[in-house]
Structure 1
Amino acid sequence: MNPMRNSGRVFTLSRFAIYFEMVAQAGSIRQAANVLNVSPSAVNRQILAVEQEMGTLLFHRHSTGLSLTSAGELLLATIRGGKRDFEAFQTRLSALSGLHGGLVTMAVVEAVSDRFIPDILSEISKDYPRVEFSVKTMDFKSIWQSVSRNEVDFGISLLDSEKSSRRVRVVSTLQAPIGFVVRPDHPLAAWKETRLTHVLGSRLIVPDATLAVGAAIREGLLTQNVEIKPAFSCNRIVSIKALVRSGLGVALLTQADVIDEEKSGELCFVRITQSDIKPLCFALTHNTQRQLSAAAHATLDLISRNFHALSMADAASSHPDTMP
């Protein structure tokens, strides 16, 4: 036979590979052709052509059928190995594109883990029903560290909570003013803004300093030289809102903490004017070295669009009447 020509020819995933594997399995060209629903001569031509091109026999021909030569056994193992590798590639590609499953991971502060993120996931799951989502509620410093170490697809934390990193990209931000949260039947509910001093005689519910909003409130009060004596302090946003619903007082929180309660009319948010209590700035971040799946990209984009929409709504309502 002629020596091998065109050594770069790829046999795996080709018609020859299909014919060759079936003949090896059946031990007969005729039986293989019947299974493949092609003519025996077409199968035989493929095998003879490759044997000639490779310069070696792939089958021993017997009166009772065919059996693989050593070269044939090696080629069969190579073809089957190539098939397994290609199938594994397809599986990983499907997971990467988010079409057939996969996992989207995120680390978020409690302010958005209660209702904002579930609403986002409810919408994104319609397009990616087989994707699993993992939501980890962390303190703001741990979130920046987790994103920086490439442990999650993205995070929602505070913009100024950690030193910037080249690996961490801020995709979008949301300014969250701090104000009073009350029930709809509270006298403050009729107003959009009021001064801090207006509620100093009320029973106040405040987040403790372990929460970012609690730390910002205390810093602002110190700057203004204002002292408040809360009736309740709590380290859970959910618990603070529950106390407000029970009519136990007026809470100090960010507007982001009560996004959905405002929409439903369950609670009301009243801005604080003429105050040194600065708004919190939430940041949507991801690690630039992380390859995001289609589902993770879609989730990131949806959160970014919601941040933008909330910022626009906040800007539109930033000049209401103020209670004296």
Structure 2
Amino acid sequence: MHHERLTLRHLLSLKYVDAVARTRSIRAAAKTVSITPSALNRRIIALEEELGVDLFERNSKGVRLNSAGELFVQHIRSQIADLERVRSQIADLKGMRLGHIRIAATPEIARYLLPLQVRKYRSEFPGVTFEIQVIERSEVENALTSQTCDLAMSLEPNNTSEFHEILNIGQQIHAVIRTDHVLSNRTSLRLTECLEYDILLPMRGNGLREALETASSKKRIKISPIIESNDLHLIQQIISEGDGIGFTVPFFINSRDLKENVCYVPLDLKEVALVKVFIGQLRYRTLPVATAKFVENIRLFFEE
């Protein structure tokens, strides 16, 4: 019994170190783990004394991991991920759906795909909790390798060398047009037709924009947007008010952020390839049961 208490106490200390590493502040980390800053600092110092090495560099601006700390935190995150996977598997054996799902997702997926999927999943398995980081495409691989998430979701990720692909879902790009626009009654559009009008695009680095620019470069046409934004909802709002043509993908169209005076016309696949939604995990790791079930739900959603 004493050994079990010791194990749990050490696990809590490891989570404290991870919280400080993420926030780079004893005070900010203390809020996230619900203890006082002085108590948290004592826990960190006690662990450093037990290890016989400092884990953090301390200065007036806060704390940051040193080289030993970087190695230790990498080990911590691996252990926490392994423990969560085992807990989920044990809960599954009991016929219960418990667990904690850690997701890193790019902004368009976080805003337009995840809310409905999380709500549906929790209505079936209310014992499961979620942790969702919103990251840029360029940060997807790092989120996996740093083990701050179990599942990464991105529209056309930049680098997939550490990415074990679970799902790869093609999405046909649609033009976003006001219902009174001359092109609104078309069943499909060529990109070149759209480019005859004012264009609104996501910011550079967005997977949707990259797919459009790849298609336009093959036609030796440069896209020069009148407005750029990292918020697809804002772009749609501007179009709703009467300015230009934008672009989106079906999971946005299926969200609740739609405007009555805006319609969506698919682009000709001969000109613009499908944009891919990637869902994956770190190579050579096994997903917790609850997370694997969540992925299966998303797969079924796209198949409907």
Same fold (TM over 0.5): yes
Cα distance in 2 for partners of 1:265, 1:245 equals: 8
Secondary structure at 2:102 match in 1: strand
- Does the CA contact (< 8 Å) of 1:169 and 1:285 recur in 2? yes
Q: CA deviation at 1:220?
A: 2.0
Aligned length: 227
Using a 3 Å threshold, how does the CA distance of structure 1 residues 205 and 275 change in structure 2: closer, same or farther? farther
What is the aligned partner in structure 1 of residue 266 from structure 2? 271
CA distance in 2, matches of 1:192, 1:262: 22
Given the alignment, which residue of 131, 142, 145 partners 2:142?
A: 145
Gaps of 5+ in 1: 1-79, 310-324
Give the 3 Å change call, closer, same or farther, for CA 224–160 of structure 1 in structure 2. same
Q: What whole-Å deviation, never above 9, does each CA across 1:117-136 have from its counterpart, x for those lacking one?
A: 11100111012223321121
* Equivalent residue in structure 1 for 2:230, among 209, 221, 235: 235
Q: Distance in 1 between matches of 2:232 and 2:273?
A: 18
1:119 counterpart (116, 120, 136) = 116
**Other-structure match for 1:283:** 278
Contact 2:137 2:205 in 1 (8 A): no
- Cα deviations across residues 273-323 of structure 1 (Å, max 9, x unaligned)? 2754332111110225445333222211111222333xxxxxxxxxxxxxx
**Residues 1:158 and 1:300: Cα distance change in structure 2 (over 3 Å):** same
Structure 1 residues 263, 250: CA separation in 2 closer, same or farther (over 3 Å shift)? closer
- CA distance in 2 between counterparts of 1:164 and 1:83 reads 39
Which consecutive unaligned segments of at least 5 residues does structure 2 have? 10-82
Q: Which amino acid aligns with 1:173?
A: N
SS in 1 for 2:149: coil
Q: Distance in 1 between matches of 2:202 and 2:98?
A: 39
**TM-score, with length taken from structure 2:** 0.63
Between the aligned residues of both structures, percent identity stands at 16
Judged with a 3 Å threshold, the aligned counterparts in structure 2 of structure 1 residues 208 and 159 are, in CA distance, closer, same or farther, namely closer
Taking a change above 3 Å as real, the CA distance of residues 261 and 182 of structure 1, as seen in their structure-2 partners, is farther
CA contact (8 A) 2:164 2:283 kept: yes
The equivalent of 1:108 in structure 2 is: 105
* Shift in CA distance, 119/220, structure 1 to aligned 2, threshold 3 Å: same
- What is the Cα deviation at residue 181 of structure 1? 0.9
Per-residue CA deviation, residues 116-168 of structure 1 (Å, 9 max, x unaligned), is: 11110011101222332112121223113322443212111245621433xx3
Q: Offset of 1:95 from its aligned partner?
A: 5.6
The worse-fitting range, judged by mean Cα deviation, of 259-268 and 132-141 is: 259-268
Distance change (3 Å), C-alpha of 1:282 and 1:274? closer
Report the equivalent of 1:134: 131
Q: Say what the alpha-carbon RMSD is for the aligned residues.
A: 3.4
2:105 maps to amino acid: V
Residues 192, 270 of structure 1: 8 Å contact kept = yes
Q: Using the alignment, how far apart are the partners of 1:135 and 1:267 within structure 2?
A: 30
Query: C-alpha separation between the residues in 2 aligned to 1:100 and 1:306?
Result: 20
